[in-house]
């Protein structure tokens, strides 16, 4: 069994990003800039935002953190986004999700200038990606492709099952596999005979949002299993959508949780920000 750890892959990506950021600074006299917007005091979101700000500092990017109160109105949030769109020092904008229930994330995405969409989630960038002309693509799917290539797992002609249909992971993940000449099936919680479908796959991406849901019965012995889920157990430990202890010795390769896909998401966010900065100038 091959353990697909994300840390060495993320380090490679970050090294490239750091060099590009340094070159950008030398050429244009400023650092590529990422604005991160956090609404409310959700503890997990605060941790994630802290990691992103720290990564900017480490790699030579400028970070602009905007911490907003829980009760901010949609109009006030929209106004901030519009001001960030106009800010010449900001190359990428990220609004940390989830937002409080009274706010619309889709409305926020509609306000972000596609040229500053660090997550690759605005309608224009989604359309460009599906048409084969990506500006930037969502960070987690892009990181998974980098992970598979790092471990020399071929994608061409492979049967891939993506379990999950979210705009952030499932749908863009399927598109990236298609772009790499794989044959893709998208499944979800309502898919009939899910276990049978998954067992036919060479590569399975589990992003269904149910902790320890997938056991060894779901996978062929030669399968490569990518676990996107992350859940906190009562004891404070983390687990994924895949029951790691049950599956790890029954497949060809698997990502751990934590330490698998997670480190790649921030690395790809940094890469997207530098890419947007380069495109803007």
Active site residues: 52, 96, 119
Residues found in the chain: 281
244 DSSP β-pair partners: none
How far apart, in whole angstroms, are the C-alpha atoms of residue 33 and residue 46? 19
Question: Tokens for 91?
Answer: 């190359």
Distance of alpha carbon 280 from the chain centroid: 22
Those residues with Cβ within 8 angstroms of residue 122's Cβ, 6 or more apart along the chain or in another chain: 109, 110, 112, 114
Is residue 264 a contact partner of residue 258, using CB atoms and an 8 Å limit? Answer: no
Is residue 186 a contact partner of residue 162, using CB atoms and an 8 Å limit? Answer: yes
How far apart, in whole angstroms, are the C-alpha atoms of residue 276 and residue 281? 9
How far apart, in whole angstroms, are the C-alpha atoms of residue 3 and residue 257? 11
How far apart, in whole angstroms, are the C-alpha atoms of residue 61 and residue 17? 9
Is residue 60 a contact partner of residue 21, using CB atoms and an 8 Å limit? Answer: yes
Q: Is the peptide bond prior to 98 cis by the omega test (within 30 degrees of 0)?
A: yes
Question: Tokens for 27?
Answer: 């050429």
Nearest to 161 by CA among 210, 120, 126, 195: 195
What does DSSP assign to residue 12?
H
């Amino acid at each position: 069994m091959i353990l697909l750890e994300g840390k060495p892959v993320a380090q490679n990506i970050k090294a490239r990003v750091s060099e590009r950021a340094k070159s950008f600074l030398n050429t244009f006299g400023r650092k590529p800039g990422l604005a991160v917007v956090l609404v409310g005091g959700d503890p997990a979101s605060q941790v994630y935002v802290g990691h992103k700000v720290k990564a900017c500092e480490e790699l030579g990017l400028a970070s602009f953190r905007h911490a907003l109160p829980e009760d901010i109105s949609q109009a006030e949030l929209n106004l901030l986004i519009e001001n960030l769109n106009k800010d010449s020092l900001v190359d990428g904008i990220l609004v940390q999700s989830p937002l409080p229930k009274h706010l619309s994330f889709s409305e926020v995405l509609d306000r972000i200038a596609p040229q500053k969409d660090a997550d690759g989630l605005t309608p224009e960038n989604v359309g460009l990606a599906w048409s084969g002309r990506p500006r930037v693509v969502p960070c987690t799917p892009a990181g998974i492709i980098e992970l598979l290539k790092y471990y020399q797992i071929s994608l061409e002609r492979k049967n891939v099952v993506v379990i999950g249909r979210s705009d952030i992971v499932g749908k863009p993940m399927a598109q990236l596999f298609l772009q790499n000449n794989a044959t893709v099936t998208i499944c979800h919680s309502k898919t009939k005979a899910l276990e049978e479908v998954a067992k036919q796959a060479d590569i399975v991406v589990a992003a269904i949002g149910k902790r320890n849901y997938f056991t060894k019965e779901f996978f062929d012995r030669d399968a490569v299993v990518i676990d996107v889920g992350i859940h906190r157990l009562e004891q404070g430990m983390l687990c994924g959508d895949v029951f790691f202890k049950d599956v790890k010795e029954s497949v060809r390769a698997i990502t751990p949780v934590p330490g698998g896909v997670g480190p790649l998401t921030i690395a790809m966010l940094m890469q997207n920000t530098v890419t947007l900065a380069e495109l803007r100038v």
